[in-house]
A = this chain, B = another copy of it.
Amino acid sequence: MADHAQTVRDYWAAAERRAWDDFAETLSPEVVYDVPQTHERVVGRDRYLAFNRAYPGDWHVDVRRVVADAQGAVAWTTFRVGDQEMTGVHFFLFDDAGRITRVDDFWPEPYEPPPGREHLVERY
């Protein structure tokens, strides 16, 4: 079995270095990228590379956690642009050669907690 956790770490390390040839090596030519919150889809490695190369802002990514098994993987990341931080959660699937065939990206935003559970909940 390919080391899916390492592939995900290589993917993010290459993205952080803007090393797009290395980034491309982690991807299947048929990779599909989805953003379920916006219903956006990018089809194919060439377009997905263009999408990432063109992504605006001087962003930096820290990988907080990677979970991987024989079928897939998930990464929890923190993106920083200047003083701003964003959380990313990224689901991956792979082909038999260990290349990424599918990415589902989530970008959860901060929100105010609903009322009525203060007696059970602390804030941190």
Counting chain A residues whose Cβ lies within 8 A of the other chain, the interface size class is 35 or more
Q: Is B38's CB under 8 angstroms from A122's CB?
A: no
Which residues of the partner chain B approach A39 to less than 8 Å between Cβ atoms? 123-124
Instruction: Decide if A21 is an interface residue (CB 8 Å cutoff).
Output: no
Residue from the list B74, B87, B124 in contact with A67, Cβ < 8 A: B74
Given the known inter-chain contacts A67-B67, A108-B107, A120-B51, please indicate yes or no for A40 contacting B113, CB distance below 8 A.
Answer: yes
A47 to chain B, nearest CB (A): 5
Please list 22 pairs of residues, one from A and one from B, whose beta carbons are closer than 8 Å in the complex, sorted by A's number. A34-B124, A36-B87, A37-B108, A37-B111, A38-B112, A40-B121, A40-B122, A40-B123, A41-B121, A41-B123, A42-B120, A42-B121, A42-B122, A56-B116, A67-B68, A67-B73, A67-B91, A69-B69, A74-B91, A87-B106, A89-B106, A108-B108
Closest CB pairs A-B (n = 10):
A108-B108, A38-B113, A74-B74, A106-B108, A41-B122, A40-B121, A51-B120, A67-B74, A39-B124, A89-B89
